[in-house]
Structure 1
Amino acid sequence: MGKLEENKKKKKEALFNTAYRLFTTKGIHATAISDIVNEAGVAKGTFYLYFKDKYDIKNKLIAHKTKELFDAAWKALDASGKTGLEDQLVFIIDYILDLLKSDLPLLNFISKNLVMGALKTAFWSEEEDSDESFNDRYLEMVRQDPYEYEDVNVMLFTIVELAGSTCYNSILYGEPLPIEEYKPFLYRTVRLIIASHRVTPSDQK
């Protein structure tokens, strides 16, 4: 990476980091673009090189933070040696839930947009600094599993939607149960969703 590209990346990261800090402390509505650029030490024109407005940086931040979560989960999964689609997906969910449980500002920031952030950008990322997308990794897990599956993107969407929406209330409010008590019910349902998408011999006739 050349010096110019490195400087551009540093400025974008400074804008991301500052916006995230302000959004999670002051709130999105109370944060102005001038607040972000002043604290980031970046010219206002530089902001508009990367983002249309503060809602654009908010949406890209959600995707960026969500991608960071899934990237961390992938690394942990690789180190775990887990095999089989069921166990791998449950491991990823469990890892991410533990991260969110320890970072409530992040949970609040991405909670209502987890599916959008994950499936739209973290899964099918077009960022210039992105590596293999989540969707590539997910499809590879599906291919390596001994079972065949149908509607695999629908399956993934359903699982992420379920985990994102129910665990927000479980972590923050203990509803319907505190998260550690709720996890076994969640994972049982995740396994049932996966099983429901398996192609049986009768389906192949």
Structure 2
Amino acid sequence: MSKKTRTKIIEAAHQLFIQKGFDTTSIQDILDKAGISKGTFYNYFQSKNDCLIAIISVVREEIIDKRRELAFGKDKADEEVFIQQIAIRINMNRQHHLMTVFETVSFSEDKELKEHITDAHQGEIRWIAKRLEDLYPSEGHPYTLDHAIMLIGITHPMLYAARLGVDEHITTETIIRYAMRRLRSMLDEQISQKDLFFPKDWFVQTDVKEKQEQEHILKNRLVALQKVVKEEKERQYLSFLLKEIQEDEPRHFLLESVSASLEQLAIGMTYEHKVKQAVQWMARRFHW
């Protein structure tokens, strides 16, 4: 199967979901837009739901890549890095019109599709909460889930209001910085009053299930790569990564550094994309 054909189908479906809405777009619409046969479509996807899930996954992987590249070699406690990472997702969602697509799906009765979108939203909340732990003092860590939810709740309505106003110079980053100032001003009071709403383990069942799935997929990807890489140094890197991810407390800075070295060695190789995918899974699992 061709990656080019798969991408063409995804792009055609994406455009139609934006223009016509998810529910009113048919498989035939996608076939006509992509210029393919029904048989070709079903070689890649079982339904238009699969197309939407693929769209979300493609954008999510791009966000993970951009966030990881932005943070590489920088202090995790640098708030400006965090602000830029948040802006990446907001700007990517806007660029790909994902909010428009999500709105059309919100009326869908398809349970699997709704669960996938819910998982994506929860994943972003958990990622923000985890990153806030890098910024907050240890006594503020119990409140990071509350603050992750409030950060999203502040930024999105303000972004909408900013687009309605006359000042075109209000950037996404400006709004996120404002939201962070408000959250930090609340933190000391929350700590002193022990005013917690959502405990950190609010999504614990989802977290455990997702981590187990991610670890299983990641381990399989790394094992498969060991069979195809050409250089001994690459095999050494993969062996190290396999061992490190199974430790009780994997050293994130080493995983990130070794993964970057592995990616560099794989540039131009036939398995470059597979290495990139494995690193993306690692970044997702360990919240780079």
Residue 147 of structure 1 aligns with which residue? Answer: 137
1:81-92 matches, within 5 Å, as 81=74, 83-84=76-77, 86-92=79-85
Taking the aligned partners of 1:20 and 1:31, their CA distance within structure 2 comes to 10
> Structure 2: where are the runs of 5+ without partners?
105-113, 195-288
Structure 1 pair 189–145 and aligned structure 2 pair: CA distance change class (3 A)? closer
- Specify the SS of the correspondent of 1:155: helix
1:1-205 matches, within 5 Å, as 7=1, 11-40=5-34, 43-44=37-38, 47=41, 53-55=47-49, 57-58=51-52, 61-62=55-56, 64-78=58-72, 81=74, 83-84=76-77, 86-97=79-90, 103=95, 106=97, 109=100, 120-121=119-120, 124=123, 135=126, 139=130, 141-145=131-135, 147-148=137-138, 149-171=141-163, 173-174=164-165, 178=168, 180=170, 184-194=174-184, 196-197=186-187, 200=191
User: Partner letter of residue 166 of structure 1?
Assistant: M
- Specify the SS of the correspondent of 1:14: helix
Q: Which has the larger radius of gyration?
A: 2
Taking the aligned partners of 1:168 and 1:68, their CA distance within structure 2 comes to 24
Structure 1 pair 91–201 and aligned structure 2 pair: CA distance change class (3 A)? same
Structure 1 pair 18–202 and aligned structure 2 pair: CA distance change class (3 A)? same
Structure 1 pair 44–164 and aligned structure 2 pair: CA distance change class (3 A)? farther
- Specify the SS of the correspondent of 2:100: helix
The C-alpha deviation readout for 1:29-72, integer Å capped at 9, x for no partner, is 55321121344355536656776643553355345424533532
Structure 1 pair 32–182 and aligned structure 2 pair: CA distance change class (3 A)? closer
